[in-house]
Structure 1
Amino acid sequence: MRITQKVRKILSNYEADSIGVKQNLARILMHGKLGGTGKMMILAVDQGFEHGPRAFAMTPAAYDPHYHYQFAIDGGMNAFAAPLGLLETGADTFLGAVPTILKINSGNSLFGNDNAPDQAVTASIDDALRLGCSAIGFTIYPGSDMSYEQIEELRELAAEAKACGLAVIVWSYARGALSKDGETAADIIAYGAHMACELGAHIVKVKLPTAHLEMKSAKSLYEKYVDVSTLSARVKHVVDACFNGRRMVIFSGGESKDVTSVLEDAQAIVAGGGFGSIIGRNFFQRPKAEALSMAHEVVEIFRQKR
């Protein structure tokens, strides 16, 4: 695998990591249609665990895990992220075809809104190694009453993963002691992203931030020093919060939206200096031909050719 100068520059920011970790980061960064550009587009399919099989009802072929593996390949993704059971179904069939990320904790929609937001650890580092994964993915909920326990779980799993040469991707979704608007507020998204970096994440996944400001203690500072007037400006602020771009931050596709909105999001991510997108429902809840066409357009935007 020949590594581009752009990817080498990104890897140079991970000064304390082993060659094994950097090799796995390089596998992700060098794979797919965006390979070598420093940008990423990752397919994430954990909605079956999170929301139930109803997530696949509008695209019946998507009940089959092999559909998602093949989509990640056909769509030119940098990597494919999913929970243990889904990855196990195609680990041999798609051996070496696309870097994989084991989503190592998960929640479910039966848990109930009256409980503190939390996820259970559903797989192990040994599972990630057995399946030949390049990275693990772990969700934290800053603001939840369970967040300190999650942070301690992440500390142990991240240390084990790094010792084994695996990269660590942290999904950082603020929940709990916040308003609904606060979960995607510019100050909260930046805080959650920064927290993930402080916890040792190599790659951070967050939602796209809105212009809303949640914390009273931060509002006056933001109004004076931080531009949150446009989505690209808010993306830039989140990148700044990730150690001034020394840690890669990618943005979730979120709930299903029209193609124009997905492409506008991608343009804002590029303009703000983000490293890419991690998309699930906005791909697999569409007819495959339409989803592949949209993936191609996102790639062109990230290549800054559109």
Structure 2
Amino acid sequence: MRISEAVQRVLNNYGGERPGVKANLARLLMHGRTGGSGKLVILPVDQGFEHGPGRSFSVNPAAYDPHYHFELAIEAGLSALAAPLGLLTAGADRFAGALPLILKANNADNLSDDRDQAVTAGVRDALQLGCSAIGYTIYPGCDRQYEMFEEVREGIAEARDHGLAVVVWAYPRGRHLGKDDETALDVVAYGAQIAAQLGAHIIKVKPPSAVIAQAEARPAYEGMDLSGLATRVRHVMQAAFAGRRIVVFSGGPAKDVTALYDEIAAIRDGGGHGSIVGRNSFQRPFGEARDMLGRIIDIHLSQAGGQGP
């Protein structure tokens, strides 16, 4: 397989990295309909663990079946499927080699109000499943953030030693952050910076709002027009080592497709590397979800202003 120029430019941002890690990054970036473009569109399915099966799958009962998500990601031509150990184990054998997998190695549940994540899988599991990457969530701002940072840093070091790429879900939250603060521009950018500093190769964040939550940070944003999402995305990319780290943006709760497509276009225009879309995908019927993901891919492959790939 010849690595495209666009993907090679992305890989060049990881100078000094282990060859195995860069090979797995290339595997992700060269797969699916976005393959070779330097963009990623990923299906994450950790919501059954994080939010509960009823909230996640009852609206589309077919999604209770782990194989449904493998088939959706494959049919839609996605870059990868990301999920916890159990879901991947249920399908990795049958769908071996069909698409890259990302093992979500720490998780939390909605039955507890504790702002923490338990380590539920490890590098050995990822290797046995044939994964290209392993993923961790961090909660910058929570009371246990430093314990999380240490756990994740240890996992990142082990993953790199074995040639796995690492995805970090950077979700600021905690008793000092209000709900609106969690997606504030300065807070989202801070989370992206922390993930990059911990050694993440791919960073997942939520689309940032125009809110500036930290009083101490407000002078840094004076005079910046924050009204457009593309501008805010561009700033988050700056925080991720001036765009030298891959940043993908979450789709969030299911929403009207027009609003979703507008959001995806703004992420593209701001220089984001792609999208990681879960509930907006699998909570829709298979055909509708496949077509919607296809449209998301088309947007990421198009040029700003709606021009073709």
Counterpart-to-counterpart distance in 2, 1:80 and 1:73: 9
* 1:126 and 2:124 aligned: yes
Percent identity for Structure 1 against Structure 2: 57
- 1:237 is displaced (CA, Å) by 0.4
Counterpart-to-counterpart distance in 2, 1:261 and 1:16: 40
Structure 2: which amino acid aligns with 1:260? T
Counterpart-to-counterpart distance in 1, 2:28 and 2:220: 37
Q: 1:164 aligns with which of 140, 162, 171?
A: 162
- 1:170 is displaced (CA, Å) by 0.3
Counterpart-to-counterpart distance in 2, 1:288 and 1:135: 26
TM-score of the aligned structures, taking structure 1 as reference length: 0.97
Counterpart-to-counterpart distance in 2, 1:36 and 1:228: 32
Structure 2: which amino acid aligns with 1:75? A
Unpaired segments of 5 or more residues in structure 1? none
- 1:14 is displaced (CA, Å) by 0.4
* 1:69 and 2:70 aligned: yes
What is residue 106 of structure 2 aligned with on the other side? Answer: 105
- 1:280 is displaced (CA, Å) by 0.4
Aligned length: 302
Structure 2: which amino acid aligns with 1:89? A
What is residue 262 of structure 1 aligned with on the other side? Answer: 260
1:12 match: secondary structure: helix
Unpaired segments of 5 or more residues in structure 2? 303-307
**Deviations, residues 79-129 of structure 1 (Å, cap 9, x unaligned):** 0000000000111110000000000000000012xx3x1100000110000
1:20 match: secondary structure: helix
* 1:277 and 2:275 aligned: yes
- 1:256 is displaced (CA, Å) by 1.0
Counterpart-to-counterpart distance in 2, 1:228 and 1:243: 20
1:204 match: secondary structure: strand
* 1:91 and 2:95 aligned: no
Structure 2: which amino acid aligns with 1:30? M
Structure 1: which amino acid aligns with 2:53? P
What is residue 19 of structure 2 aligned with on the other side? Answer: 19
**Deviations, residues 143-184 of structure 1 (Å, cap 9, x unaligned):** 000100000001110000000000010000000021111000
What is residue 180 of structure 1 aligned with on the other side? Answer: 179
Structure 2: which amino acid aligns with 1:294? M
- 1:227 is displaced (CA, Å) by 3.4
Matches within 5 A, 1:225-240: 226-240=224-238
What is residue 214 of structure 1 aligned with on the other side? Answer: 213
What is residue 288 of structure 2 aligned with on the other side? Answer: 290
Runs of 4+ in 1 over 4 A off after TM superposition: none
Counterpart-to-counterpart distance in 2, 1:288 and 1:259: 15
2:237 match: secondary structure: helix
Structure 2: which amino acid aligns with 1:200? G
What is residue 49 of structure 1 aligned with on the other side? Answer: 49
Counterpart-to-counterpart distance in 2, 1:295 and 1:36: 18
- 1:16 is displaced (CA, Å) by 2.0
What is residue 8 of structure 2 aligned with on the other side? Answer: 8
The CA RMSD measured in Å over matched residues stands at 0.9
Q: Which moved more, 1:157-166 or 1:255-264?
A: 255-264
What is residue 305 of structure 2 aligned with on the other side? Answer: none
Counterpart-to-counterpart distance in 2, 1:280 and 1:162: 26
Counterpart-to-counterpart distance in 2, 1:299 and 1:90: 24
Counterpart-to-counterpart distance in 2, 1:297 and 1:71: 14
Counterpart-to-counterpart distance in 1, 2:63 and 2:195: 31
What is residue 82 of structure 1 aligned with on the other side? Answer: 83
Counterpart-to-counterpart distance in 2, 1:241 and 1:95: 36
**Deviations, residues 60-85 of structure 1 (Å, cap 9, x unaligned):** 11110000000000011100000000
2:13 match: secondary structure: coil
